[in-house]
Structure 1
Amino acid sequence: MSPRAPSPDPFAPWQAAQRAVQENWRDAQARTLDLFGYGVAEQRYDIAAEAPLLRLRHYRQGDAPMAAPGGPAVLMVPAPIKRPYVWDLTAELSVVRFCLDRGMDVFLAAWRPPAEGGAPHGLEDYARAVIDAAQIVAARSGRVPVVLGHSLGGTLAALAAALEPALFRGLVLLAAPLSFAPGSSAFRDSVAAQGAHTAEDGILPGGLLAQSCALLAPGTFVWSRWMDGALSLTDPAALDLHLRITRWALDEVPLAGRLVHEMVEWLYRDDRFAQGRLELGGRLLGPQGLRVPALAAVNAADEIGPRAAVAPFFARMAEGSTEIIEHPTEVGVGLQHLAILAGRQAHREVWPRIADWIGARA
């Protein structure tokens, strides 16, 4: 007797319709904010390379033709769940423009959505994509780059540097967790406590991921944003920033199911990287293998990548090769997790220190 085919999920059509309504509502919000002048206005760039998982951008200084600056080469690695323009939000609050003004040769890894029906991509594939991007940066600029990674982008950059340390002059971690021990962050504990396991195949829509995060940690992703919006009402500059961040937050990018599965199981639940037992490329990766100078910028109010999500990992790295900068909470950034990229105080006080650190090592 042939095996019985699985019964169709009677709720699947309703769930699909619900997701479609949510996506339409998010698109309407985005279009409305665009009409009021909060749309995307990025610095000009060329595409230096195309790959299945990312496009490598090479930025220009204004309208000038592309030229190789005399300063260090930097490779920026955003978190893959969002579009990367939070690194270039406004003329005044742009990490890209700050680095260009400091004479750096600026590249950015803009993640691409995984292809439908394509090969499943996990942590190693994303880390290898960062490695490939670093090699292209070195070939085009003539310099081994310093890599800057925010959030999960920083975690992926650290994995890449652990796999191929010779390709990275230094590592700058921006609100990027490396240690996932219990109590290291409120978000880590929320993720680890969930009973369900993520599927290893398929593609997860960005809107569904955002909704899942909000349900897992409403204090981080809902209430704190509302509070930030209320505090921004008395400060026009903060309110402008808050609305631009709100617009950016509507631009989710789908993620590979395998990446989410391995991130949740291997990092958030098992803490394999910090314990030196994360196997990628036939090797065990951990703090002792991350042999590059590393700087971390952390915020005590950040519930995703605070000091406790970095310091235990740094303590196991080579002595004298790490440094942690703490920066204060800010109004207007929506989530404190974004303060290092978009915060006004961070741009005035922290980024000059980061630039000096990069210059001293590049």
Structure 2
Amino acid sequence: MARIAVIPGDGIGNEIVDAAVEVLKKTDAKYRLNLSYVRHDAGGTAYDAYGTPLPEETIQAAIEADGVLFGAVGGDKWNDVAPDLRPERAILGLRKGLGLYANLRPVKVAESLIEYSPLRPEIVRGADLVIVRELIGGIYFGEKCESETVDGTERAWDVEGYSVPEVERIARLAFETARIRGKKLTSVDKANVLATSRLWRKTVTRIASEYPDVELNHLYVDNCAMQLAVKPTQFDTILTGNLFGDILSDEAAVIGGSIGMMPSASIGLEASLFEPIHGSAPDIAGKGIANPIGTILSGAMLLRYALKEEAAAKAIEDAVDEALADGYRTADLWREGFKKADTETMTAAILDRIE
């Protein structure tokens, strides 16, 4: 039996995670996956109940699970909470606790959604890429100073740092990912300016010799950002560090037209975590109108990467594509001529198409 730790978080978290669990259960019944579920709190909800955004039992349940399905955390309600107790600390704590060293964010533009992209159809048609982002190193986890006075002037600083083993680990995952996709890897850095990027590029280039079947090229981050908007179809797998990956993956998400559609997988040393990339959207929480597709597709990624159930994962993805092709749209995507769907209706449409 495979155990899934379900952590809804805040805002629309419960609604979208419940939808994804429904889809997983339907898929389980068809493919005999033998899944079980255990729910735990995190984020502002956990802070209200336990005084901490990430209770120890939540971390432990995640470590013991075969995969973690996560919703979203945060909201204006907790704006005045101390920095180390803010809801967002939950996801940072899970990254550390589970050793979530890599984030995989796929961006695939369905034919039925091309009109939603801010890019022209001829530019975005056929875009199908994945960004592999290092997740627990770099400037976000380096030494920092909030405020110090030097020669009478206040300043703050953050330190960027990467070690060779950190780069090797994420590079190998990226090459393995590219190997099962289009066999093309683009490593993104700022080696013309940053010492850490020069170490990154040197290490990735060396690791490439282990993967002679994968084509490697390098881009500076500013050029990559431009190329994602000019010709996204040129990319298959993109490898980059924590800071650059944070920015580029959000840019790439816009290509598809709705951030509510985008899933992600965070690969860990202890367990892996799967979540949509959008926020907790407290303004629509409880209204039943949230788009559940990003979370449902995150469930598909859980089946693929955590449980190695490729057929079951593809069944979910195909069901989503079919529901969209048949005209179902949640509020963030709805236009005249389509079938307006709330969270429950969209979930039902996907459930009906799992064959």
TM-score when normalising by structure 1: 0.29
Higher strand share: 2
Greater relative contact order (Cα < 8 A, sep 6+): 2
TM-score when normalising by structure 2: 0.30
